[in-house]
Amino acid sequence: MWLTKRLGLLGGMAALALVAGCATRPEAPVIGREASPATPLDKYKIGLHEQPDQVGLAVHPEGISPAQREALAGFADRWRAAGGGMVTVQSPNDAPDAQGARAYAEAAVSTLGVLGVPYDHVRVIGYAAGPQPKAVVLASFSRVVVESPDCTSVPWENLTATKDNKPYNRFGCTLAANMAAQIADPADLYGNTPMAPADNSRRQVVIGKYRDGKVTSSDKDNQASGVVSSAVNP
């Protein structure tokens, strides 16, 4: 009886010790909880921001002038280069002839349509122009602009001091600035650009020749031969 109580007491103490040990055991680290450390190249990054590209058209009784049409043509070219987003045409609501300004805005929309801007990509809204001598119709779209790091604002340091084995202060700045200057479409940095459908006309020609048992290679071009010169025997 005494031995049974003794064993029961020891078993209870062991259980309490096990519970206490579980309560004080440190939490196991979770993989991926902490962000990976930044590399030295992350110090200088290419920034992106959106800014409006806008053209103003003074309202004329005779309609869109040749100079305004030329300005809208350049506007349409920049719109296409920026990816073809939404175009906003604003008409002054507080103009002396608000109805005439609205008609002028519609004429600008028609001109943009002729220049290749689809009508479903243009919206016409009103705005408060305030005290202006002339009514002005505004056409604008938002485009992505690259922000290049300013390497001139970063002071140089002694590049021969390499005892710490750390990158120098300007490391990576010039690389980022050069990349920013060479980007044709800054919107590509937001993600992958959708690819256009493949042109399979040549593939169909080759498959057709293969099925007919014909040679599938292109015809030889004499101008594409590798002969540089020919020696002439006397």
- CA 138, 93, 106, 50 dihedral sign is positive
> What pLDDT is stored for residue 197 in this prediction?
81
Region 11-26: mean pLDDT is 48
Give the pLDDT score at 26: 43
Look up the pTM and report it: 0.55
Tell me the C-alpha to C-alpha distance, in Å, between residue 144 and each of 13, 60, 171. Answer: 70, 32, 26
The 10s digit of each residue's pLDDT in 186-226 is 877 777 667 778 878 888 888 988 999 888 887 777 776 66
What is the amino acid identity at position 221? Answer: D
8: pLDDT strictly greater than 60: no
Which domains are delineated in the chain? 51-144 (3.30.1330.60)
Mean predicted lDDT score pLDDT of the chain? 78
Of 63-72, 113-122, 169-178, 222-231, the one with minimum mean pLDDT is 222-231
Residue-wise pLDDT for 119-150, tens only, equals 999 999 999 888 777 889 999 999 888 888 88
| pLDDT more than 90, % of the chain | 26
Question: Cα torsion for 120, 125, 129, 132, to the nearest 10°?
Answer: 50
Strands 47-58 and 87-92, bridge-based pairing: unpaired
Strand ranges, E, within 36-114: 47-58, 87-92
